[in-house]
């Protein structure tokens, strides 16, 4: 088929101009078709290049695939309405915590215990020691042994420290220590008359101490009465041979034993008489 467009016969008058326009339009259409065909041809060629490149890409080894695992997202729980929540709490049983005491004590640093109060300990009662000067003090009369002279009756007098005695241990009898009661000045021993046990009121004198002590009646033992005065134990001073107690003449009940110069005697022991003595430091 020929692309040549036939030239119309010349028109009469103005009609030749119209054909000219029609012919130009046809030329434009023909050019557009040609351009379109060239574009399509060019596109087909490019598509072949792309296919060739795709084949090369497919020949390459596949790239490693890194897979990342994500933690599941927690699904939020819808909050119950306040009324339902309060009702659920009321229906829930109350938990009771039981604590069982054990024998293990808490650590010291966890204890808040108050410090114990310090109590002042009382000094133990004083008991007489040997070879120490003492005033022999009568608890009932408040007087002291005041006269210790050779072959003279011993008497009581005010406690002024002028006369003192010493205890000298001789031996032990029936589990108790026995003593001589000696003058600190002269060294004479208190001595009941004779050398045997005497009954009743017997005046006490002073003579040299006799050896062995067990051969006479000059030994005395101190019997604790269980009473204490001014920190001193009150003793019954008992003759080891007769068992009688050192006594002040006169009676405690009528006060006849209170005067200075009253004789010191031996008499059967009685808790309500003037038979308790204290060995007071001279």
**Residue 258: how many CB atoms within 10 A of its CB?**
17
Q: How confident is the model at residue 53 (pLDDT cuts 50, 70, 90)?
A: very low
Which phi-psi region, left, alpha or beta, contains residue 131 (left: φ > 0; alpha: ψ -120 to 50)?
left
This prediction's pTM: 0.57
3-state DSSP call for residue 232?
strand
* Local structure of residue 108 (DSSP, 8 states): G
| pLDDT, tens digit, 9 for 90 and up, residues 248-271 | 999 888 999 999 999 999 999 999
Domain 134-281 has CATH 3.40.50.300: no
Q: How confident is the model at residue 105 (pLDDT cuts 50, 70, 90)?
A: low
pLDDT of residue 214: 85
- The residue ranges of every structural domain in the chain are 134-281
Dihedral of the alpha carbons of 121, 127, 131, 134, in degrees to the nearest 10 = 100
């Amino acid at each position: 088929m020929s692309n040549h467009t036939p030239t119309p016969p010349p028109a009469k008058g103005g009609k030749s101009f119209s054909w000219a326009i029609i012919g130009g339009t046809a030329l434009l259409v023909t050019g557009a078709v040609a351009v379109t065909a060239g574009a399509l041809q060019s596109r087909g060629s490019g598509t072949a290049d792309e296919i060739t490149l795709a084949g090369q890409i497919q020949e390459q080894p596949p790239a490693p695939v890194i897979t990342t695992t994500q933690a599941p997202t927690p699904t939020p729980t819808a909050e119950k309405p306040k009324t339902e929540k309060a009702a659920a709490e009321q229906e829930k049983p109350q938990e009771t915590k039981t604590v069982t005491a054990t024998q293990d004590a808490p650590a010291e640093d966890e204890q808040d215990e108050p410090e114990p109060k310090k109590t002042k300990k009382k000094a133990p009662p004083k008991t007489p020691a040997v070879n120490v000067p003492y005033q022999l003090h009568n608890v009932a009369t408040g007087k002291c042994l005041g006269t210790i002279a050779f072959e003279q009756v011993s008497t009581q007098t005010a406690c002024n420290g002028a006369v003192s005695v010493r205890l000298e241990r001789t031996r032990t009898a029936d589990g108790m220590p026995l003593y001589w009661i000696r003058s600190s000045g002269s060294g004479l021993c208190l001595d009941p008359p004779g050398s045997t046990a005497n009954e009743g009121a017997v005046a006490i004198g002073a003579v040299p101490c006799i050896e062995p002590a067990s051969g006479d009646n000059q030994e005395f033992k101190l019997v604790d009465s269980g009473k204490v005065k001014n920190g001193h134990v009150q003793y019954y001073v008992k003759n080891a041979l007769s068992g009688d107690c050192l006594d002040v003449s006169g009676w405690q009940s009528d006060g006849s034993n209170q005067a200075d110069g009253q004789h010191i005697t031996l008499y059967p022991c009685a808790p309500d008489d003037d038979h308790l003595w204290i060995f007071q430091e001279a």
